Amino acid sequence: MERGLYIAASGMLAEMVRQDQLANDLANASTPGYKADRSSQRSFGDLMLSNSQTGQQIGRLGLGARIGAITTDMTPGPIRDTGEPLDLAVVGEGFFGVQTPQGVRYTRNGQFTADGNGNLVTREGYQVLGRNGEPVRVGTDGKVDPRRVGVFNVNNPNKVGENMFTGAAGGQAAGQVRAGALEGSGADPARTMVDLIASFRAFESGQRVVRTIDDTLQKAANQVGTTG
């Protein structure tokens, strides 16, 4: 089978993964506390070409591309005031702790509300944890004391969906909670759109390579093979 087909197809598959990542970033461009992903590509091992008669090395032939790694940019985003008393932002390093059915999760999204029992919860209804892991109570005035909200240091945070992370908690972080504010999204819409367009162009280039190789093979089978 033509090796070029595999090389072009591997590049197209890598771009499909990258497009999914970029589309997710673009969809969360306005999500408070969202952290954008960055994907990097790398090549498979190269094949060393040599002269079959003399054994002299000619050069290397790439065997295709793949996604090398997808990393999350944990740089703190800009803080904007909202005036909502239950909107909280972590200024500096650290995460809010959230109790979910799957266990404790961590997030930078401080767009909270109060449940029927007067506890501070996320929009999904998950309980926000205090400094010692206890529930955070909302006062009768509809506010919370930012000093009671836990800010946790999380080692090796890993995305698990719903703008939340897992990881090994390492005690209280140095960040401070600010009330009436939210951290902006880490996804830049303009940059993400440019990267998405570039990825589509790369994918289309792979399609053209596959189409060209297919046409060449068709001619080799239908024309060259029938030459008398």
**What's the whole-model pTM score?**
0.78
Tokens 């070409």, located at residue = 49
Do 58 and 11 share a structural domain?
A: yes
Do 85 and 70 share a structural domain?
A: no
Do 145 and 216 share a structural domain?
A: no
Tokens 């000619």, located at residue = 58
Question: Which of 131, 169, 127, 126 is closest to 147 using CA atoms?
Answer: 131
Domain with 139, as residue range(s), is 79-183
Enclosing H/E stretch for 26: helix 3-27
Q: Give the chain's domain count.
A: 2
Instruction: Give the tens place of pLDDT for each residue, 43-61.
Output: 655 545 566 666 666 666 5
Do 65 and 89 share a structural domain?
A: no
Do 164 and 102 share a structural domain?
A: yes
Do 67 and 107 share a structural domain?
A: no
Do 205 and 169 share a structural domain?
A: no
Q: Is the dihedral of CA 101, 106, 111, 114 positive or negative?
A: positive
What is the DSSP-derived secondary structure letter of residue 135? B
Do 218 and 135 share a structural domain?
A: no
Between CA 86 and CA 99 the distance in angstroms is: 17
DSSP assignment string, 86-123 = TBEEEESS-BEEEEETTEEEEES--B-EE-TTSBEE-T
Between CA 64 and CA 13 the distance in angstroms is: 10
Instruction: Give the tens place of pLDDT for each residue, 189-224.
Output: 999 999 999 999 999 998 998 888 888 888 877 776
Residues 4 and 215: beta-carbon distance below 8 Å: no
Do 160 and 89 share a structural domain?
A: yes
Instruction: Give the tens place of pLDDT for each residue, 63-106.
Output: 667 777 888 999 999 999 999 999 999 999 999 999 999 999 99
